[in-house]
Amino acid sequence: MLVTGAGRGMGAIYARRAVEGGARAVSLWDVDADAAQRVAASLERPGVELEVRRVDLADRDAVQGAALEVLERFGRVDVLVNNAGIVRGAPFWEHDPERDIETTLRVNTLAPLWLTRAVLPSMMEDLTRPKRILNIASAAGTLANPNMSVYAASKWALIGWSDSLRLELSRGGHGHVAVTTFCPSYVSTGMFAGARGPLLTPIMTPESAAAAAWGGMLRGAPLILRPWTVKLAMALRGVLPVRWWDAVAGTVFRVYSSMDHFTGRPERTPAR
């Protein structure tokens, strides 16, 4: 198994679930190698090989090089979890073109594409066991929200790619490789510190969110939306005129004000 953003939050939980589920080898990627090393130390078990890699997912060469090294060491990847992500919560015009816009798209969107492209051929070729790809997107990729324009763009793109990949694999006769897209609302990992859940949408714990994603991935479910209000909002947005939906989302569900008090993680703790 290979999981990105494994040094904290849901990434660490996915690594733990893999070990508890009988994984023989887990590669933990994070830009914060010390955090990932602490997670690995807590997961040490007889017969389980754990490795930590410091990888800056904004660097394509680093991603591709590390992926090649993993394949050389372990031979294959049975489960890939594209979990790492970053968020910049501000009006679009306050985003720095390189630090905020380009880096967000590289980490949240391009890195999963680069990494999956690197390991997918070996997954397709190996028919000895089912393969799984879990892409962690966001409810922000299904509904527009003020102060999340670049983050939302990165997740909308991730969702479109992830589900298209699922269809391509199915049509291409590679049904043993299942792709699951997970779209949660706010999760209390610290990444969205200060954000408030919309009406009837509690902020989920990392454990509950990871459990939903992990279970869906094991089943090979195409799309997991949590909590249930994410699916409701998608349905309402689909049937209501845009201005009506704006009124409902803004004044009733309070979606559009959910990022008004966003602070996020301190810059000194890398998020990807």
Residues tagged active-site = 151
C-alpha 159/C-alpha 187 separation (Å) is: 18
DSSP helix/strand/coil, 173: coil
Residues in CB range of 171: below 8 A, 6 or more apart? none
Phi and psi at residue 132, in whole multiples of 5°? -135, 140
Q: Is 74 left (phi over 0), alpha (psi -120 to 50) or beta?
A: alpha
DSSP, res 271? -
Dihedral angle of Cα 196, 201, 207, 209, to the nearest 10 degrees: -110
SS (H, E, C) 211-253: HHHHHHHHHCCCEEEECHHHHHHHHHHHHCCHHHHHHHHHHHC
Q: Which residues of 34-53 are buried (b: 16+ CB within 10 A; e: fewer)?
A: ebbbebbeebeeeeeebbbb
201 touches 229 (CB < 8 A): yes
CA distances from 19 to 16, 77, 205, 267 (A): 5, 15, 21, 30
Q: Is 206 left (phi over 0), alpha (psi -120 to 50) or beta?
A: alpha
Q: Is 91 left (phi over 0), alpha (psi -120 to 50) or beta?
A: beta
